[in-house]
Structure formats: structure tokens, C-alpha cells
Amino acid sequence: MKITVVGTGYVGLVSGACFAQMGNNVFCVDTNEEKIRSLSKGEIPIYEPGLEDLVKEHLNSGELRFTTDLAEALPGSEIVFIAVGTPMGADGSADLQYVRAVAEQIGSIMSNDLIIVDKSTVPVGTAGQVYDIIRQALDRRAAEGDAKAGACWFDVVSNPEFLKEGTAVSDFLRPDRIVIGANSEIARKRMENLYAPFMMRENKVLCMDVPSAEMTKYAANAMLANRISFMNEIALLCEKVGANASSVRMGIGTDSRIGLSFLFPGCGYGGSCFPKDVRALLRTMKENGINPHLLEAVEKVNDDQKNILWRKAVRRFGEDLSGRTFAVWGLAFKPNTDDMREAPSVITIRELVRRGATVRAFDPEAMDQARSFYLKDLDKIEYFSNKYDPLNDADALVLITEWSVFRSPDFNEIRSRLKAPIIFDGRNQFERFELPKMGFEYYPIGIPGSNFED
């Protein structure tokens, strides 16, 4: 099958490479000429395990191609995916200007029957907007005498993505489920045929109406964000009353009705999906006259939780951190990605520096992102090429991202390099080592003894 994917961001690039892996001929389109030149040489702009090898393999086979020209890619395609960005607007809503622009361009170019798929995360009703834009463009062309425009059939499908950064390739190739929102039997069957190679062991395709498919993406991310914020709020209480949040997690998570996923106490969620999607859903609910009490609380808890580590440091060392140095392990919002969007590290580091501290940071993949964008305005931050050098004469170690390289460190090495053996653990990575028995001051999240009296 010939497929066109418009947008070579995180979703578009992963989708295009994985569709090529299943034998499809895929054109990926983007307006960024420099990016397309790099991708055409197999140079990947993001860190995602397995993606670079997949892109290079199918570039070499000719099954994956990149272009800036939609008119080059579209002819003969059976399905075109819209996978452009939907950034958060000033009011919290999803900005659909790029989706609309692609729809207009498709309507101006298409010359054969086509299924258009919303792969970007978009609010309920977007598929209808895309349909109307394309219909109007085709009608204009037909009125001007373009016979091909008048003969074109098309439909718009919602096919939300559920990729996790760091495991996106495996998620796409071995999905939990495929959600397809389609209005026509033709579109539904075509989409089922496209995904059939991913379902060789078990059919996990869920077909539904278009609005339900659009809502499913937002509801899924809001539910996961809800679980994280719930566990973080419980962890705050655990610190106060002497309960262990990790034990509580196991106690509730082993209930088959609840489960253990997304119940880890920590320093808050970040990334490109949860914060943006929760805010977009909040906006949609308000526009429809619903008071989103629960989601507003989810967002507020998370905003507060991103401040927990620097507040613990202030309670330990005082408000004035002048002359203090903190070693930071982890900058990305989660492991196995270089993505720092909405990362707790940004708030933690900025608040430490604002109080006079110097920060020494290490992350396996995200330091270039920090240097070039997220923390580029900070003078009192240094970056190191390995995890131990930032510890030299630092007042404490602050762990923010749970990379595997941090999971079993040499604590004798840590102790020998720090001024004093103090660790602030934003992901409870080291709880199992019983660090207080090893002479460390250990401040995790939601564990007895980690709280300070104001």
C-alpha cells in the first residue's frame, strides 16, 4: 500500500518508519527543508531507541522516502496521515492551524480517492473540520472545471496514537490496541487492512465512531495523569503520617481493579502529551459547560509536585543557597528520550539557581536540549560527560530522571565525592538500598523520614 505521512515529528516519523517495516511504500512530508535533507541521509533529529536503524533500513530499501513536496507524495497514495503538531494555545486549547493547513493543501492537490487520517492529537470535532476544508477545496476546483476534483471520493478517519516516548517503536509494532474512528465501511476496512500485519497474533483493532475515537486519546492520557497525581498526593500524606508510599502503592496496585501502572510516587509528570492533553481537555469541558473539578486538581497537584525537590533542598539547607552546589542526575522528562518539554528538571534547576546555587548536570541524552533551549539562559549550570564527575565537592545529589544508568550506582563512589552524603531522590530509585543504614541522608518521595517540619 502507498501511504503518505504529513509531519516528521515524533508521531509522524515513528509511524512512517513502522508502516515501511510492514512492507508499505511510505512518503514522509515536512516543510522543513533542512530536516528533510537530514532524514534523507538517515540522520534522526530525536533520540528514540530503534528508530534510527529502522529509518536507515527502509531508506536503503526504497520503502521510505522524504520530501518537502506534498504534490510529489500524494498521487497514488491510498491513505494520508496528518501527523503535524498541535501545540497548546494561550488559552490551553489545541492549536489546529497546521492541521487545517494540511487539509487545505490535500484538497487542492488530491487527484484520486483518498482516506485522510487524523493521527495528530486533536479535539473532538476536528475530523469534521478537516472534512469540510477538503470538501470546499474540491468543490472550488470542480467549479473551475477540474474534472478530477469532481470525481474524487474521500473520507476522514480518526486514528489516535498511544506511543510512549522511549518505547515508541515497539509500541507501534506491538500495540495494546488500535483505535479507528470511521464513518464509512470503505474507510474502516481499508484501515483494518493497513493494520492487519500488526495483528498477526491477536486482533486488537477497536472500531468506533469518529468523535469517540477523538475523545479516547484525551481520556486515556487524562486517566494516566490522574493516577500519577493521585499517587503523588497520597505520597505527601505518607510523609506526614509515617506511611511508606511504595508499600501503599503495592497494597492498592495488586488489587486487580486498580493495577500497578502509573502509580509511582515522584516529582511530577512532563513531556509533550500529558500536560498538553490535560489542558486541552480542560478547555473542551469548559467550552461545553462542564466544570472539570477532577482534571483541574490533577493539573494543580502535578504543578505543585514539580516543586517538591527544590523545596526539600531549601528545608535542608535554607532559603539562601549561595555557595551551594547540587549535582543533578537526569534532565529529560523520562528515561530513553531527550525530550525536556515540561520536564520537572527545568523547574528544579531554575529554582535552585534562583536561590544562588550552582548546578552540575548529567543526562545520557538530553544535555544538548538543555544547553540549546531549556536552560540556555542560566550561567550557574555545568554539564558533564559522565555521572560521577558532577558529584565532586557537591553539597548533595538530586536524582530527577530514572535512567537505567542511575539504578545501581557505586554508593561508596558517591560518598567519596560529595561534601556530605546527601541524596534527594525524585523517583525513589534508591529506596531498596536502605541508604540511611549506609550513612546517607536520604530524601525520597513519600517515604517516612523524608519530610521536614516548616
Decide if 308 contacts 348 (C-beta within 8 A): no
| Residue 238 known to be catalytic | no
Decide if 19 contacts 3 (C-beta within 8 A): yes
How many whole angstroms separate alpha carbon 294 and alpha carbon 301? 11
β-pair type (422-425, 396-399): parallel
**3-class SS at 178?**
strand
Decide if 245 contacts 238 (C-beta within 8 A): yes
How many whole angstroms separate alpha carbon 76 and alpha carbon 140? 22
**What's the grid cell of residue 191?**
484501515
Of the candidates 18, 28, 152, 273, the residue annotated as catalytic is 273
User: CA 163, 165, 168: angle at the middle one, nearest 5?
Assistant: 50
Instruction: Please state at what angle helix 210-241 crosses helix 126-143, rounded to 10 degrees.
Output: 150
The number of C-alpha atoms within 13 Å of 52 and in the hemisphere containing its C-beta is: 11
Q: What is the largest CA-CA distance in the chain?
A: 82
Catalytic residues: 273
